[in-house]
């Protein structure tokens, strides 16, 4: 059997297994983070989690398929392991980059949500709120529209 074919038969199952393992791990452990990002909305967090997993599979498995071809003819076992180590290393790096990109984007969304939550007062204003009806001479003059 051609050693290139042996390389394909080793590379594909390992790459697909790594992709499935990472996707399941991120899905299971990222649910709490997504719930916080989505403001405690569990249904929305589950939906986003599922969409992220599907996207993760599509991007990474597509990359694995595109990166399948070994560029040169493999002549011995040493060259086979060299080619496999490069291919699997690149797949692992791609998995890491996808993961870090997801975390970065979700953290930006989370920070924006926290800032929006902090900018809304917990209780509606009651009584005197600044400009409006008040005794003359108290505070700055009212804006022209309210005179």
Weakest mean pLDDT among 50-59, 87-96, 127-136: 127-136
Q: Give the closest residue to 91 by CA, choosing from 60, 52, 59, 69.
A: 60
Rounded mean pLDDT, 123-131: 62
Separation CA 38–CA 109 (nearest Å):
9
Domain ranges of the chain: 3-121
Contact 19, 95 (CB under 8 A): yes
pTM of the model: 0.63
pLDDT at residue 17 in the model: 92
Residues 95 and 60: beta-carbon distance below 8 Å? yes
Q: Are 45 and 37 in contact (CB under 8 A)?
A: yes
Digit-coded pLDDT (tens) for 18-70? 889 988 888 888 888 888 877 788 888 888 888 888 988 998 888 888 887 77
Is residue 25 within 8 Å of residue 94, measured between CB atoms?
no
């Amino acid at each position: 059997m051609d050693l290139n074919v042996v390389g394909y038969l080793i590379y594909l199952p390992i790459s697909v297994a790594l992709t499935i393992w990472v996707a399941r791990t991120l899905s299971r452990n990222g649910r709490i983070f997504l719930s916080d990002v989505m403001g405690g909305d569990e249904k929305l967090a589950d939906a986003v989690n599922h969409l992220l997993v599907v996207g993760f599979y599509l991007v990474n498995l597509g990359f694995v398929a595109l990166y399948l071809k070994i560029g040169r003819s493999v002549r011995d076992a040493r060259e086979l392991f060299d080619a496999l180590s490069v291919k699997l290393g690149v797949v692992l790096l791609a998995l890491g980059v996808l993961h870090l990109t997801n975390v970065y984007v979700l953290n930006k969304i989370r920070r924006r949500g926290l800032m929006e939550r902090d900018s809304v007062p917990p209780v509606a204003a009651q009584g005197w709120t600044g400009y409006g009806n008040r005794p003359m001479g108290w505070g700055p003059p009212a804006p022209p529209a309210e005179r």
